[in-house]
């Protein structure tokens, strides 16, 4: 039976900033939360100020989602803090009305009506998906796992048809809804946790599924014909995979970040290694982003450093990140790609 959650704004404020406080991190080297660049990644600034003289420096950010209509609205899926929102481009953060203050792995927003949102999280250690039709005032539970220990760790919406949503679990199961969450179908069972799902957003509209540290799966836009992406010519085994990103300007172009370097494919079955800074190959590439309007601008992050290329990966500039945490997610602002957001977390 579906459950409905209605929260009174005053009660939420009391709960959010008392029993579930955003907290203040004591060590400057332990900075989590968000950093923002307004100059295309040349420099980065910590943006962790929250309401009531608090901050989100202690927060582990799992995912960053920017409202496709109002890009000043930014949503953070966090570890043990629920959803956090900024309505002024990361200048000030506050808790967002949501049924659970546990882990939030994915947030999907309707590209045509950003009042319609979906979010996957845990409630009492059980994976669930919630939907709102009014910008978060009310939430409806539209999917639940049958027992504890299974979580919805990835979510992606088809921007051309927002009723089509794909999700993946930490147990490797991939599911789909074609009716906005009324019903769900199992599509595939992989050999590892599904950590990220992205659409190619080109004429092929393929879907990529990151199987954490195992590899990458691909299907067509309907979730049919799953296959593991691999180099058919050189038999290159893409293992130790930590991140993926599609180049939305070039059909069929996919970047894969591993613990051995960065790889690129332009045809799904042949890969070339991108010539990145050699010392960065010693660490897992946990986040990649490509400028949605300029294929030559690529950003990736390892350990406590950000790497940026403006010539398609031939040369790289580096920026030190003054924290012991690592980047979990990088997002370009679709309305102004000079603005880039990076979320930080501990991986343990």
Q: Please count the CA atoms within 13 angstroms of the CA of 112 that sit on its side-chain side.
A: 7
Beta bridge partners of 104: 121
Tokens at 228, concatenated: 């593991």
**Residue 344 to residue 80: CA distance in whole angstroms:** 14
DSSP-assigned letter for residue 261: E
Strands 261-265 and 254-258, sheet pairing: antiparallel
Q: Which residues of 96-223 form beta strands (DSSP E)?
A: 104-109, 117-123, 126-132, 138-144, 152-157, 165-169, 173-177, 185-189, 194-199, 207-211, 215-219
Cβ burial, residue 293 (10 Å; 0-12/13-18/19+): exposed
Q: Give the pLDDT of the chain (348 residues) as one tens digit per residue.
A: 444 443 333 343 333 433 344 654 444 567 899 999 999 999 999 999 999 999 999 999 999 999 999 999 999 999 999 999 999 999 999 999 999 999 999 999 999 999 999 999 999 999 999 999 999 999 999 999 999 999 999 999 998 899 999 999 999 999 999 999 999 999 999 999 999 999 988 877 899 999 999 999 999 999 999 998 876 655 556 779 999 999 988 888 999 999 999 999 888 778 889 999 999 999 999 999 999 999 999 999 999 999 999 999 999 999 999 888 999 999 999 999 999 999 999 987
Contact indicator for 211, 219 with CB cutoff of 8 Å = no
Phi-psi label, residue 211: left if phi above 0, alpha if psi -120 to 50, beta otherwise: beta
Count of helix runs (H) and strand runs (E) in the chain: 1, 31
Radius of gyration of the chain from its Cα atoms, rounded to whole angstroms: 19
pLDDT value of residue 322: 84
CA distance 57 to 329: 16
What gap in Å lies between CA 301 and CA 60, rounded to an integer? 16
Give how far Cα 28 sits from Cα of 32, 48, 56, 111, Å.
9, 12, 12, 37
Are 345 and 325 spatial neighbours (Cβ–Cβ below 8 Å)?
yes
């Amino acid at each position: 039976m579906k459950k409905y959650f209605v929260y009174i704004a005053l009660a939420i404020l009391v709960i959010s900033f008392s029993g579930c406080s955003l907290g203040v991190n004591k060590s400057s080297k332990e900075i989590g939360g968000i950093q923002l660049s307004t100059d295309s990644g040349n420099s980065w600034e910590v943006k962790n100020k929250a309401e009531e003289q608090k901050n989100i420096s202690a927060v582990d950010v799992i995912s960053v989602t920017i409202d496709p209509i109002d890009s000043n609205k930014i949503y953070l899926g966090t570890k043990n803090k629920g959803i956090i929102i900024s309505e002024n481009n990361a200048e000030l953060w506050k808790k967002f009305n949501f049924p659970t203050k546990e882990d939030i792995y994915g947030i999907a927003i309707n590209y045509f009506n950003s009042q319609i949102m979906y979010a996957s999280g845990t409630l009492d250690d059980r994976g669930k998906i919630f939907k709102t039709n009014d910008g978060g005032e009310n939430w409806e539970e539209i999917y639940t796992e049958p027992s504890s220990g299974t979580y919805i760790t990835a979510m992606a919406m088809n921007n051309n048809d927002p009723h089509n949503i794909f999700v993946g679990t930490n147990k490797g199961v991939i599911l789909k809804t074609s009716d906005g969450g009324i019903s769900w179908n199992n599509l595939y069972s992989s050999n590892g946790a599904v950590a990220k799902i992205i659409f190619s957003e080109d004429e092929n509209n393929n879907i990529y599924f990151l199987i954490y540290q195992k590899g990458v799966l691909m299907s067509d836009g309907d979730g049919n014909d799953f296959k593991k992406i691999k180099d058919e010519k050189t038999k290159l085994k893409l293992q130790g995979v930590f991140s993926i990103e599609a180049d939305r300007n070039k059909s069929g172009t996919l970047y894969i970040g591993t613990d051995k370097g960065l790889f690129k494919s332009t045809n799904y079955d042949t890969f070339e290694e991108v010539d990145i800074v050699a010392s960065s190959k010693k660490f897992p590439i946990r986040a990649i982003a490509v400028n949605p309007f300029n294929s030559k601008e690529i950003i990736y992050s390892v350990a406590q450093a950000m790497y940026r290329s403006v010539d398609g990966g031939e040369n790289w500039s580096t920026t030190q990140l003054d924290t012991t945490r690592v980047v979990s997610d990088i997002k370009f602002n679709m309305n102004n790609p000079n603005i880039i957001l990076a979320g930080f977390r501990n991986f343990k």
